[in-house]
Amino acid sequence: MRLSHSLIPTLKETPAEAQIASHRLMLRAGLVRQTSAGIYAWLPIGYRVLRNIERIVRAEQDAIGAQECLMPTIQPAELWRESGRYEDYGKEMLRIRDRHDRELLYGPTNEEMITDLMRQSVKSYRELPQILYHIQWKFRDEVRPRFGVMRGREFLMKDAYSFDLDYAGAEVSYRQMMLAYMRTFQRLGLRAIPMAAESGPIGGNLSHEFIILAPTGESLVHYDSAFEEIDYLSRGAGGFDHTSATDLERFFTEMTTHYAATDEKHDPAAWEKVAQPRRREGRGIEVGHIFYFGTKYSAAMGLTVAGADGKPVHPEMGSYGIGVSRLVGAVIEASHDAAGIIWPDSIAPFRAAILNLKPGDAACDRICEDLYAKLGATALYDDRPDRAGVKFADADLMGHPWQIVVGPRGAATSQVELKRRATGERIELAADDVPARIA
């Protein structure tokens, strides 16, 4: 993209309404604009980040065999009457009437709809297990939307639903999903910790929230730093394979043995047993939540399959959410400095910005155009007729992993400067060597 012809409205001033770093930076770097309370438009670079996060979330869901589908945002009220949640959900649910006076709602979640879709088509135990997911906008009429996309009213969620024949199967699905989550967050450059959460009326230990530490988080959390050393992406000695039952068992044991708890579940006696230097505590942001709820919806809504003995069985279900739009804010909370955002390579809107310090200078223009042609869609070309200082500040603010600085002095000999945003490290090199260097 050429910055001179892009809707990337960066701001020098800090917007007064933003109380936390990620909200300030998302507005200042031109990622989003609020269109109604708690509802945001995603401008081009913000939307690129959102799509990059989606891509990683999707890849890890696909890797455990979950099937992507897309359910609508608008749902009929009848489905929610069947589960009993139409009244329970209260004012958070946005209720709508169509021209025929039929009651609809903008979905805050999709357990009822997916249960209905399964009951229409799945008949036999031979068709289970299955996991379905979609990445779709949700609406929850939060009393106090705040912190930008972190607690919005309309937000993008990946929600998955598992269907198994029995508890043992549901447990495997749950563990696979937990592993997919740890891999997802690591790929996003985050250290999310799984913390036992309220499991509701069903009991058991199968409800976890995934929380990252950040001073502006909404919950108080405590965990053992052992979590920070685990590499979920390696396949070798320390890694886990989601297709192996023993690996899944070992993984789940590790996730539930190290201490980790939100304030509601905190156990001071157990915490005392964690060695002092390994204790991490602070505020945390919930970026995901997984939940086993047995036959709650399958029983209420009459979803059955014929078991091996021919008798009808209500499948055991779980649901698994990731706050995709919240993650944009959460990543920024975890990765920024005084000058702006520092994107992890995996989700950066552009890999590099090309800063032309003297548009109109023949050598600068030639080198920049040439690099831009080679780097294509992975580069943002700052071709604006602005001062160098403005370009440096905006590039730092937008947080591209690499900045390619093209000034008249170096350009005369085809030399450019390459800056790594995360470390501030700068090197001089031949313009021709840049694409290989940042690949």
Ligand X SMILES: Nc1ncnc2c1ncn2[C@@H]1O[C@H](COP(=O)(O)OP(=O)(O)O)[C@@H](O)[C@H]1O
Peptide bond connecting 385 to the previous residue in cis, omega within 30 degrees of 0: no
Q: Are 135 and 324 in contact (CB under 8 A)?
A: yes
CB of 325 to ligand X, least distance (A): 6
Residue 157 interacting with ligand X (CB under 6 A): yes
Residue 289 interacting with Mg ion (CB under 5 A): yes
Residue 138 interacting with Mg ion (CB under 5 A): no
Q: Which stretch binds Mg ion (CB under 5 A): 83-91, 176-184, 214-222, 287-295?
A: 287-295
Question: What gap in Å lies between CA 337 and CA 326, rounded to an integer?
Answer: 19
Question: What gap in Å lies between CA 368 and CA 371, rounded to an integer?
Answer: 5
Question: Phi and psi (nearest 5°) for 63?
Answer: -65, -30
How many residues make contact with ligand X (CB under 6 A)? 15
Q: Are 395 and 404 in contact (CB under 8 A)?
A: no
26 binds, among Mg ion, ligand X, none (CB under 5 to 8 A by kind): none
326 binds, among ligand X, Mg ion, none (CB under 5 to 8 A by kind): ligand X
Site string for ligand X, 115-154 (x = CB under 6 A): -------------------------x-x--------xx--
- The residue type of 298 is S
Query: Which among 23, 30, 131, 21 is positioned nearest to 350, based on CA atoms?
Result: 30
Question: What gap in Å lies between CA 128 and CA 121, rounded to an integer?
Answer: 12
Site string for ligand X, 306-325 (x = CB under 6 A): ---------------x-x-x
Identify which of residues 157 and 411 has a Cβ nearer to ligand X in the complex: 157
Question: What gap in Å lies between CA 203 and CA 192, rounded to an integer?
Answer: 24
Residue listed under structure tokens 């799984």: 194
Sign of CA dihedral 132, 138, 142, 146: positive
Identify which of residues 110 and 173 has a Cβ nearer to ligand X in the complex: 110
CB of 369 to ligand X, least distance (A): 41
CB of 315 to Mg ion, least distance (A): 23
Site for ligand X in 279-298 (CB under 6 A): 286-289
Q: Which stretch binds Mg ion (CB under 5 A): 15-23, 113-121, 175-183, 285-293?
A: 285-293
Strand partners, 288: 210, 322
Question: What gap in Å lies between CA 111 and CA 97, rounded to an integer?
Answer: 21
Identify which of residues 140 and 187 has a Cβ nearer to ligand X in the complex: 140
CB of 285 to Mg ion, least distance (A): 11
Residue 399 interacting with ligand X (CB under 6 A): no
- The residue type of 266 is H
Residue nearest to Mg ion (CB): 289
219-224 and 352-356 beta bridge pairing: unpaired
Residue listed under structure tokens 């090309």: 354
176 binds, among ligand X, Mg ion, none (CB under 5 to 8 A by kind): none
155 binds, among ligand X, Mg ion, none (CB under 5 to 8 A by kind): ligand X
User: Residue numbers of the site for ligand X (CB under 6 A)?
Assistant: 109, 140, 142, 151-152, 155, 157, 286-289, 321, 323, 325-326
